[in-house]
Amino acid sequence: NMMSDDDGDGVYTVVIPVPDGFTGHFTILNNPADGGDWNSKENIEGQDCADPENFNDRNIGPITGTTEINTCFGECTTDGSCSTPEPTVDVTFKVDMSDYSGGYSQVNLNGSFAGWCGSCIVMSDENSDNIYEVTVGVPLDTIEYKFTLDGWTTQEEFVSGESCTSTIDGFTNRSFIVTEAATLPVVCFNSCDECDGSGGGDNGSDAYDVTFRVDLSQYEGDFGTAYVNSSFNGWCGGCNPMTEVGDGIWELTIPVAAGDHMYKFTLDEWAVQESLISGSPCTVLDNGNVNRALTVDGDADLGLVCWNSCSECLEGGPITHPVTFSVNTDNVTVGPNGMYIGGGFLGDAMAHALTDNGDNNWSITLDLNEGVSGNWVFLNSPDDGGDWNAKEDLAGEDCADTDNWNDRFLEPVFEPTTQEFCFGQCAAECTEPAVTYGVTFSVDMSQYEGTYGGVFVNGTFNGWCGSCNPMTDTGDGVYSVTIDLPADTIEYKFTLDGWTSQEEFDGSESCTSTIDGFSNRSYVVTEDATLPVSCYNSCDACDDNGGGGTPADSLAVSFSVDMNSYSSEFVFVNVAGTWNNFCADCNQMTDEDEDGVWSTTITLPVGENYRFKYQVDSWTDQEELAPGDNPVGPCVVKEGGFTNRDLDVVGSDPIVMDVVCWGSCLACIGDDATLGCNDSSASNYDEAATANDGSCIYDVTLSVNISEYALSEGDSVYVNGEFNSWCGGCNPMTDDGNGVWSVTIPLAYDYYEYKFTVNEWTAQEDLAGLNGCVTENFGFTNRVLQLFGNQSEPLVCWNSCSDCEGTGEISGCTDSAAVNYAATATVDDGSCQYNVTFQVDMSNETLADGDIVYVNGSFNGWCGACNPMTNDGQDNLWSLTIPLTAGDHEYKFTINGWDAQETFPIGAPCDFIPSDGFGNRGFSLSADLVLDLVCYNSCFACDVNTGCTDSGAQNYDADAAVDDGSCAYLVTFRVDMGQQMVSNGVYLVGSFQGWSNGSTEMSSPGLDLYTYTVQLSNGPHEYKFMNGPDWGGDESIPSDCGIDNGQGGFNRGLVVSGSDVLLDIVCFESCSACAGCTDPFMIEFNPFAGEDDGSCANARVEGCAYDDADNYNPAANVDDGTCIFSGTSSCPTDIDGDGSTAVGDLLIILGAFGQPCAD
């Protein structure tokens, strides 16, 4: 649907009729090259109007009357307004065409700043010096660009590494960093340099005139102009129009660069395109698209071809055959719009309406051109041409084409054909429908504060289809629907306006289950049932405004946020928290008096702790509560890397939270306020201050009970935290004589993390696994201090969130060999430390003066420069000894912090934990340890000759003293393609060859078996087979024998373990061998077959199979070499039979020379 700007004001409009109740998805595209050019679509990812379940498209509907949608390209505005565009500066581009001798009409500039639009930026040569230039407003950014001719007819071609280029996502283009207005130097076309008259640019000498001609005399549709679209013009749409020369024949001659190209004829740019038959002699298959093939090596006239054909038009039109599509709908209820066929070569979801023949049978007969084939599918009551939710679900069925959305496939048509199937099944007759039960779903929307048009139930039973099952408001905001379902365990959830909004669960709720990472409601269907009415996004009935509590055990909590300092536009404010799984719009707030303060009250269970924050317009924007990783104040908690507000629901009275400013723990500050600390209890109280700016300083007392920790005589206790930069000895504590150590520190109003330590950092608390008083971020667990005023934190026991229990047990290190042995300890707490000596030989590295080698590891948080090593002997042997806690540790050597580091392949001999995906050294510590001296970036000493020491490996090195893990072994891959049509070879792709498609072709010894042998190192490898060199021909591997590839599919896998591997023969796209005849005494016997498929039909009969032989056996179907032929002589050259070979025999031969032999 093309939009138009009739008045030239930049606002494009289109009016489209849709049926009543229409819902769906749409997007806006800027100058698409063709119907598949999705690169030109707007990007609204992350905005509230984007549907992440449907390619971040916009949602529409339900439409119940005349509707206007006013928005901005790439934005979610509803009034048609656009935000201020980012600033631009003028950049002048210049290209010298004097060395280019090919033909062209126009020079264009194409780039990332213009969407590679083809011919939209035209360059000019005002003074006819062959230097073309144009000035364009460009954003301050790194841009990519190139010069092209006549749109995309000819373009510059660069190779990676040229001085004026950069290569991004596999494309090499010119690049420039825009920081201010600029005039770029003149460059020669296709060169980084100026033209010098010696061919510095592409002089067009490899371009040849090619004439394209297409006969449209038998095309029955209406159109204006025919075009050539091709890889040589970037499939640009309207770049190369053709001219009608009479009798429906269109023609075009243009220069085309030498080489291989693809093309096709189209009408009215991309309004209609050819549908060519894959495998036809003039075509090539490219990523599922069938195009014409062209090789240019000189001037050429490609000859006249008929539209959609490789040959000229036949007199009387193309040969057609009637093809009947018939569907049995015994197993489904046909919707109000009836049945359709569509998809693939047929067109959109409403390509052809079927006729109701009665008895649940629908059909249509189409006259299709001979040889036509392709994908298609039945659809039940589609709402429009893009409603693919209405298509039948053939997933897992034998007739589903898994490479093409599980559609059906029509084989090439050469005679009248009938395609008769049951809807969603591969057989003509529908299987007996399963017994179903009526299940009534109900959801209470009375406390939902957002806007919506319709409520729906989506689940496994309807393919999560969006708007298939609308619910009806039965009164009081309760929506219900009854659906017939088979006995099964179902998952489901309630959604709004299709998938515009949905319930969000985390799996801990009583009515949910979590499967494959998705948490949904679940129910086991065994009989007719009416499910309890639950509140939207809750397992309970509505009585708590979505908080999840009940009046008996909950408190009303009132939230308020002041939005007067928020500078952006918004529609509504939400409070999102752990009680509603940070739902986008479950708890909308209101500003009834329009004073800028938004509020809501939610009932929450007593005794629970929650995290929450304020956000606008369903996460269009949210509070930044830790700018620069610095929390805004004591009202927040940082946990798991996320900073949110903190709420404890305690007491018996309703909780009314202070009004806070957006993104702050304090109230908003007016323009006339005097900033400072206005709390008289603070040590820096300012009487003149009228607004608190968060600068108040308070005394906080921290106390820890060490009575159950084994301190040695002379030990001291410290507190370390963010307030003292974890400095070690900055804040010593004082012992009151009873094992309780305390300290009072003046600190500013804020949020802090801290812990208690001994002797600065000799020992520290291990707080992992505690609840209530700690938080964990990036592997570090610390105590939390939220400082609102002068306060004394509760007394806690070392390593605990509560005071010591007085058991008399003293925790500490009980190993006398440890450096921190505590003689008074009665219980070992795992804190024992032992000296570890690290050694690394840097002889093979070049270190500059001042360079320092460090050891970094899990024990120091990979901190960079915490543990420097020393080169005491100035012999490049660096060492360091430090005490470490018993257990497993990973580490590596680095230079100057993290300026350089060792790099090991996963699974290297010194990779301590290969399964973690990091190639780090490591060791297990239980006593003092001196690690072996190793060479930097090596698992061995510098003077050790390493290599493969396994004599059975292909790369065995007899001189190697130490095995370096490089041993490689022969692995033979085998696949049976007997059930596939192979036309362009069979290929192997895998992790061991970089998943490079088309580079590893397999060979066939016969019988449809394909093999390939390669050397692989020890360890796991992933791979798959491909039918043809292109992606799309790769096999779809069942999960039973597959390894999840993280992209929605599976790969095959193998493990090499010190010996050659001969993999079992498998059937393409199967976990086992292909089925076939397994009886060796039958002529159909397949030696590679696994399971017998009943194809054995003819017994193997050996004998003489030549009918001219004396002992010919007409029953033989396998010749065994026993044939006997009479009339033979021991001297076959004695033609005249005189007992010798002489002149007479030769004369007989010469006399008959050249004469035909009689039958």
Walking along the chain (1159 residues) 10 residues at a time, the average pLDDT comes out as 85 82 82 66 84 83 84 88 81 91 85 81 91 91 89 81 79 86 92 72 62 91 90 77 93 88 90 77 75 90 90 80 93 90 84 92 89 87 85 90 87 90 93 81 87 89 83 86 90 89 86 84 90 89 58 80 94 91 86 93 87 94 93 93 92 92 95 93 95 95 92 90 92 92 96 94 86 84 95 94 85 90 86 94 93 93 89 94 93 94 89 87 96 94 87 90 85 94 93 91 91 92 94 92 85 93 94 91 87 88 84 85 72 70 72 66
Q: Which of 653, 654, 657 is nearest to 645 (CA)?
A: 657
Indicate the CATH number of 947-1097 among 1.20.1440.230, 2.60.40.10, 3.40.50.12500, 3.90.1150.10: 2.60.40.10
Q: Which of 415, 395, 416, 398 is nearest to 406 (CA)?
A: 395
Question: Distance (Å, rounded) from C-alpha 721 to C-alpha 726?
Answer: 5
Amino acid at 58: R
DSSP character string of 201-224:
S--STTEEEEEEEEE-TT--S--S
State the Rg of the chain over Cα. Answer: 39
CATH topology match: 697-805 vs 833-935: yes
Question: Distance (Å, rounded) from C-alpha 312 to C-alpha 243?
Answer: 18
Q: Which of 319, 565, 546 is nearest to 450 (CA)?
A: 546
How many residues would you count in the chain?
1159
- The answer to whether the CB of 176 falls within 8 A of the CB of 141 is no
Helix and strand element counts for the chain (H, E): 1, 82
Helix or strand (DSSP H, E) at 1011 = strand 1009-1017
Question: Distance (Å, rounded) from C-alpha 208 to C-alpha 801?
Answer: 82
CATH number of 697-805: 2.60.40.10
Question: Distance (Å, rounded) from C-alpha 327 to C-alpha 420?
Answer: 6
Indicate the CATH number of 207-306 among 3.90.1280.10, 3.40.50.720, 3.20.20.70, 2.60.40.10: 2.60.40.10
Residue 245, strand partner residues: none
Strands 300-306 and 207-215: parallel
Token pair, residue 227, equals: 């075009």
Residue 29, strand partner residues: 41
CATH number of 551-668: 2.60.40.10
Question: Distance (Å, rounded) from C-alpha 1039 to C-alpha 688?
Answer: 71
Question: Distance (Å, rounded) from C-alpha 334 to C-alpha 316?
Answer: 40
Residue at token pair 């079927």:
354
Q: Which of 352, 375, 401, 391 is nearest to 290 (CA)?
A: 375
Q: Is the pTM of this model over 0.75?
A: no
Cβ neighbours, 10 Å, residue 373: 16
Q: Which of 855, 918, 906, 912 is nearest to 881 (CA)?
A: 855
Query: Which residues, in sequence order, are CB contacts of 1057 under 8 Å at separation 6+?
Result: 1018
| Domain range list for the chain | 1-85, 88-188, 207-306, 334-422, 437-535, 551-668, 697-805, 833-935, 947-1097, 1129-1159
Q: Which of 333, 332, 326, 334 is nearest to 354 (CA)?
A: 326
Q: How far is CA 366 from the centre of its chain?
A: 40
Question: Distance (Å, rounded) from C-alpha 969 to C-alpha 1061?
Answer: 8
Question: Distance (Å, rounded) from C-alpha 681 to C-alpha 698?
Answer: 8
Burial degree of 708 (CB within 10 A; 0-12, 13-18, 19+): buried
Token pair, residue 18, equals: 């849709």
Backbone angles phi, psi at 788, to 5 degrees: -100, -25
Token pair, residue 857, equals: 């590891």
- What is the topology classification, in CATH, of domain 833-935? Immunoglobulin-like (2.60.40)
Question: Distance (Å, rounded) from C-alpha 79 to C-alpha 76?
Answer: 9
Burial degree of 254 (CB within 10 A; 0-12, 13-18, 19+): buried
Backbone angles phi, psi at 392, to 5 degrees: -65, 150
Residue at token pair 């300092």:
565
- The answer to whether the CB of 211 falls within 8 A of the CB of 301 is yes
- The answer to whether the CB of 449 falls within 8 A of the CB of 499 is no
Question: Distance (Å, rounded) from C-alpha 257 to C-alpha 297?
Answer: 8
Question: Distance (Å, rounded) from C-alpha 659 to C-alpha 677?
Answer: 18
Give the number of C-alpha atoms closer than 13 A to the C-alpha of residue 120, restricted to the C-beta side.
16
Phi-psi map region of 1094: left, alpha, beta (phi>0 left; psi -120 to 50 alpha): left
Residue 732, strand partner residues: 718
Residue 475, strand partner residues: none
Burial degree of 103 (CB within 10 A; 0-12, 13-18, 19+): middle
Backbone angles phi, psi at 122, to 5 degrees: -100, 130
Residue 784, strand partner residues: 753
pLDDT at 288: 57
Q: Which of 255, 253, 240, 159 is nearest to 205 (CA)?
A: 255
Backbone angles phi, psi at 914, to 5 degrees: -60, -30
Q: Which residues of 1135-1147 are buried (b: 16+ CB within 10 A; e: fewer)?
A: beeeeeeeeebee
CATH number of 437-535: 2.60.40.10
Q: Provide the strand spans (E) within 48-111.
A: 58-63, 88-96, 107-111
Q: Which of 564, 655, 544 is nearest to 607 (CA)?
A: 655
Distance between terminal CA atoms of the chain? 71
The second-level CATH assignment, the architecture, of 88-188 is: Sandwich (2.60)
